[in-house]
Structure 1
Amino acid sequence: MPDTARTVHIVDDDEAIRQSVSFMLRKAGHVVETYPSGVAFLKTTTRETQGCVLLDVRMPEIDGLEVQTRLAQQGIILPVIMLTGHGDVTLAVRAVKAGAIEFLEKPFERAALLQAIDEALDQAGRNDRNHILAGEAIIRLAALTARERGVLDGMVLGRPNKLIAFDLGIATRTVEVHRANLMEKLSARSLSDVLRIAFTAGLGEPEAA
């Protein structure tokens, strides 16, 4: 069976580019999916989509930068390699600032393309692993009671037990009991273990403006 985690999604309105690049990548052993537009790609892409994206900057309907933005808005984490034409350096810089890991100017060399794709797929593998770890951490936190979760929130903020007790309107001794209980439920041996699990699950992340 093909390894879908190693899939390269080619999004380009130029049919010749799609055919030549897909032929090259398949010969190199990659699984390839092609799309004639950003709209077509977004219609079939979900958070479960794996691999990386070879994305053309200039396309009708929506351009590559807009595709990149919509992926981020939908929480779809796929490493992006942006393809640019001559004179699109400004757009390429914007793409990298928005999260693209590389940009290649057409016509690009085979070796450069394959190297960029290998790097993108390696990053995709790390993203998948992080996603799994986050899911496991969220499941572990779900076992906590509401009061234990409140104590954990205070720990994530770096508050001492006395301040957590004040914030929650409970005794310091009660905070200590909840803290011991949540550490046992999380199989945490230290504060650093607790914080690692909490941060992996997304606690303590700044809220979007």
Structure 2
Amino acid sequence: MPRGCIFIVDDDQAVRESTARLLHRADYSTQAYDSGDSFLAASLPNDISCMLLDIRMPGTDGLGVLRIMEARGNMPPVVVITGHGDIPLAVEAMRLGASDFLEKPYAPERLFEMIEKAAATRLGKREARTVDPEAQAVLKRLSWRQRQVLAGILCGHPNKIIAYELGLSIRTIEAYRAQLLVRLQLRGTAEVVKFALAAGLDASEFGQTKDGIQDDGGDEQFI
């Protein structure tokens, strides 16, 4: 028996076909669409296990699909597929209700992990994304520099832009990013962004002054 039906929405035929073959080998059934518009025009079931949605497509793009599905009130679990440098789009997708995002290229094991996690959280109508008190408490314990770097990541800035805006070296920013992964026990940019959203971090905080933000003074060895 199939483990569930995965909907693939991607304008790249090669990607659709290779993803479908990969999922079939893992005992998933699939249904593929070559655009956001063709997906939205289809008669869709109510029990979609998970949807893999490309963020950049002609016509209605991934964000447009999410906005329309949110308005319809039938948002399934969605994993947004992004390219390098699309972090701001991925952040917006998660604010619109996407469960997760995955950057190309990705390992098959990572794709399966995200699908299983997204499918496991399907509770019918999705609840609005709210601030997680535990994540918020962890955020408050970060130093000012850590929080600034985290806000820069949430903005989708590369290390060189974060370094320039904060007046630090690129190596220093790389050290802070590595430190954040260890301190927050996270793997990669996607999980860092998810934590920042769950904690209620405002991206506009990037570049703000130190006033009002706790600084434990424990991380200045990188400066």
Unaligned 5+ residue runs, structure 2? 128-223
Aligned-residue sequence identity (percent) comes to: 40
Query: Relative to total residues, which structure has the larger helix share, 1 or 2?
Result: 1
For 2:2 and 2:110, the matched residues in 1 are separated by 24
Query: 1:45 and 1:86, CA in 2 relative to 1: closer, same or farther beyond 3 A?
Result: farther
Residue 121 of structure 2: SS of its match in structure 1? helix
Deviation at 1:47, TM superposition (A): 6.1
Residue 82 of structure 1: SS of its match in structure 2? strand
Partner of 1:178: none
For 2:37 and 2:61, the matched residues in 1 are separated by 9
For 2:68 and 2:45, the matched residues in 1 are separated by 12
Question: Which amino acid in structure 1 is aligned with residue 54 of structure 2?
Answer: D
Question: Which amino acid in structure 2 is aligned with residue 127 of structure 1?
Answer: G
Deviation at 1:61, TM superposition (A): 0.4
The aligned runs of 1:1-209 (5 Å cut-off) are 2=2, 6-46=4-44, 48-124=46-122, 126-127=123-124
Larger radius of gyration: 1
Deviation at 1:46, TM superposition (A): 3.9
Unaligned 5+ residue runs, structure 1? 131-209
Aligned length: 127
Partner of 1:148: none
Task: Check whether the contact 2:70–2:96 (CA below 8 A) recurs between aligned residues.
Answer: no
Task: Check whether the contact 1:15–1:36 (CA below 8 A) recurs between aligned residues.
Answer: yes
Q: CA RMSD in A?
A: 2.1
Partner of 1:177: none
Deviation at 1:29, TM superposition (A): 0.6
Deviation at 1:77, TM superposition (A): 2.6
For 1:122 and 1:32, the matched residues in 2 are separated by 17
Question: Which amino acid in structure 2 is aligned with residue 29 of structure 1?
Answer: D
Query: 1:76 and 1:105, CA in 2 relative to 1: closer, same or farther beyond 3 A?
Result: same
Offset from partner CA, 1:46-84 (integer Å, 9 cap, x none): 462522110000000010000011111111130110000
For 2:73 and 2:9, the matched residues in 1 are separated by 19
Task: Check whether the contact 2:75–2:97 (CA below 8 A) recurs between aligned residues.
Answer: no
Task: Name the TM-score, length of structure 1 as normaliser.
Answer: 0.57
